Amino acid sequence: MITFENTEIAFKSKTDSDLVRAYWLFKIIGYPLVVKLGKWFTEIALKLKLPIDGIIKKTIFKQFCGGININDCESKIKELNDYKIGTILDYSVEGKTEESDFEKTTQEIISTIIKAKGNPAIPFAVFKVTGIASFNILEKANSIHNELNEQEKKSYLGIIQRVERICLKAYENNVPVFIDAEESWIQDSIDRITLAMIRKFNKEQAIVFNTLQMYRHDRIDFLKKLIEEARIGNYHYGIKLVRGAYMEKERDRAVLMGYTSPIQKTKNDSDEDYNHALEIICQNIDCLALCAGTHNEESSLYLSQLIEKNNINKNSKSIYFAQLLGMSDHISYNLAELNYNVAKYVPYGPIKEVLPYLLRRADENTSVAGQTSRELSLLSIEKNRRKK
Q: What pLDDT digit, counting tens, does each position of 288-339 carry?
A: 999 999 999 999 999 999 999 999 999 899 999 999 999 999 999 999 999 9
Q: Residue 14 and residue 329: Cα distance in Å, rounded?
A: 10
Across the range 130-149, mean pLDDT stands at: 92
Q: Residue 31 and residue 35: Cα distance in Å, rounded?
A: 6
Task: Give residue 165's pLDDT.
Answer: 98
Task: Give residue 59's pLDDT.
Answer: 82
Across the range 121-143, mean pLDDT stands at: 95
Mean pLDDT of the chain: 91
Query: What is the share, in percent, of the chain residues with pLDDT greater than 70?
Result: 92
Task: Give residue 40's pLDDT.
Answer: 65
| pLDDT for 41 beyond 80 | no
Confidence of residue 29 (pLDDT cuts 50, 70, 90): confident
Nearest to 108 by CA among 68, 139, 74, 79: 68
Nearest to 181 by CA among 110, 235, 243: 243
| pLDDT for 370 beyond 80 | no
| pLDDT for 367 beyond 60 | no
Confidence of residue 232 (pLDDT cuts 50, 70, 90): very high
| pLDDT for 96 beyond 80 | no
Confidence of residue 56 (pLDDT cuts 50, 70, 90): confident
Confidence of residue 362 (pLDDT cuts 50, 70, 90): low
Which pTM was predicted?
0.93
CB 201 within 8 A of CB 207: yes
| pLDDT for 6 beyond 60 | yes
Cβ count near 241 (within 10 Å): 24
CB 167 within 8 A of CB 177: yes
Across the range 219-242, mean pLDDT stands at: 97
Is 6 strand, coil or helix? coil
Between 79 and 363, name the one with better pLDDT. Answer: 79
Confidence of residue 27 (pLDDT cuts 50, 70, 90): confident
Task: Give residue 254's pLDDT.
Answer: 92
Confidence of residue 34 (pLDDT cuts 50, 70, 90): low
Across the range 344-361, mean pLDDT stands at: 83
DSSP E strand stretches across the chain: 86-91, 124-127, 177-179, 208-213, 237-242, 288-293, 319-324, 342-348
Structural domains of the chain sorted by starting position, each given as residue range(s) with its CATH number in brackets? 66-361 (3.20.20.220)
Cβ count near 279 (within 10 Å): 14
Is 148 strand, coil or helix? coil
Task: Give residue 323's pLDDT.
Answer: 96
